[in-house]
Chains A and B, each alone.
Chain A
């Protein structure tokens, strides 16, 4: 339990360290302006700081789920007038964590199911073995960024971004299924 401001700050920094980039990726999906992404990102962690005691009790996956939901919600409601924005932040800071159900929870359940899947493990291993630049462009593409948007994120032209995406996909296919990626045999299952 964080019981003073220094402890609370340390928990906030840990949350940012673990999930700051993920939150940024979520916000960048719907916000074009870097300044807006910066402001929304800070507001997400402002709400997190107000609930830091509760969040510190959650698992990393649960923390990530809550932060993604909060970021998505704030991004979807960006543009409200300042007064209603403040009221919305106040509500997010009070709302019971377990009542904020969303499709992300279904995602987490699906995530749990596919963990046992060999293909899933191989995809993860392949992604981990790619260059960071290739991984980044694949994730940006998967999160809905088009060529101009990926170019904007990487500071390159839209054409160069599309070419980089093509290169990354080729790299993935070449790496996928390589011997080092062969998944461990699935555990034998017995009928109950």
Chain B
């Protein structure tokens, strides 16, 4: 057996590695457990598949990492309320803003967190060149318009005053209503003070969530523990604006 000591032998080593995929894992750093947990929850809950079926896949990492339970509920809950919404207010204010790179539901989408300035928030993505496959040059911000989707979510399209009507959608109001602002604030507290924190039991999470609801200024909201999660030692919470429920679910 010859001892590799030349560039040719470096090639032999590289070839050996290419022929042995069982060592390829060494090229990658260990996967962070919280990343794996987030993806597994996204897949197992059906939320990822639901987004694919709606033509949405790209999401900001924070939504995946800490807001995943809210999007999970949106994915399931929106199905039941997918009536045509003609209001200028979103019925899913906590779902964030879907920034699309083209007109129509087939367009690529990046979801940003709820904001009072959806056009400005999506414009920042365009300016940063995040829609590199779009029809305008990278970094150019086209005219944008905010609509309310059939599922009650704010969607921002490249277009003008007639774009929403052309899609059969309502123009979004310039700002969120007072109630929707309170719902967004409630979700922010749930994400930051429950979901982004270390695990707590379902009962503890429900207790915290009840306090948040009581302090939110919202009327008619309640907290529920999903039946399969009652004894969970690790639970998170999701805000569902359509049913006015904060649901506690086991995690992951």
Q: A residues near B, CB below 8 A? A: 5, 8-9, 12-13, 16, 19-22, 24-26, 28, 35, 38-39, 41-43, 45-46, 49, 61, 64-65, 68, 79, 81-83, 85-86, 89, 104, 107, 110-111, 114, 118-120, 122-124, 127, 132, 135-136, 138-143, 145, 153, 169, 172-173, 176-177, 183
Which of B26-34, B136-144, B156-164, B219-227 lines the interface with chain A?
B26-34
Q: A67 vs B25: C-alpha distance in the bound complex, in angstroms?
A: 13
Which residues in B have their C-beta under 8 angstroms from that of A9?
A: 40, 44, 252
Which residues in B have their C-beta under 8 angstroms from that of A140?
A: 27
Contact-residue size bin, chain B (C-beta under 8 Å from the other chain) = 35 or more
Q: Does B21 contact A39, Cβ atoms closer than 8 Å?
A: no
Which residues in B have their C-beta under 8 angstroms from that of A22?
A: 21-22, 24-25, 28
Q: Does A132 contact B22, Cβ atoms closer than 8 Å?
A: no
Which residues in B have their C-beta under 8 angstroms from that of A45?
A: 39, 43
- Mostly, the A contact residues are helix
Q: B residues near A, CB below 8 A? A: 1, 3-5, 9-10, 13-31, 35-36, 39-40, 42-44, 48-49, 52-53, 55-58, 61, 106-109, 133, 252
Q: Does A141 contact B44, Cβ atoms closer than 8 Å?
A: no
A-B CB proximity, top 3 nearest: A142-B17, A21-B25, A142-B14
CB < 8 Å: which of A8, A111, A119, A136 contacts B26? A136
Asked whether A38 and B61 contact (CB < 8 A) given A143-B24, A177-B1, the answer is: yes
Q: Does A172 contact B31, Cβ atoms closer than 8 Å?
A: no
Q: Does A16 contact B44, Cβ atoms closer than 8 Å?
A: no
CB < 8 Å: which of B1, B9, B108 contacts A82? B108
Question: Chain A's nearest CB lies how many Å from the CB of B26?
Answer: 5
Closest residue of chain B to A120 (Cβ to Cβ) is B16
Which residues in B have their C-beta under 8 angstroms from that of A122?
A: 1
Question: Chain B's nearest CB lies how many Å from the CB of A47?
Answer: 10
Q: A113 vs B70: C-alpha distance in the bound complex, in angstroms?
A: 51
Closest residue of chain B to A137 (Cβ to Cβ) is B27
26 pairs from A and B in contact (CB 8 Å cutoff): A13-B36, A16-B31, A21-B29, A22-B24, A25-B27, A35-B58, A39-B58, A42-B42, A46-B48, A46-B49, A61-B22, A64-B21, A64-B22, A82-B52, A127-B17, A139-B17, A139-B23, A140-B27, A142-B15, A142-B18, A143-B18, A143-B27, A153-B27, A169-B10, A172-B4, A173-B3
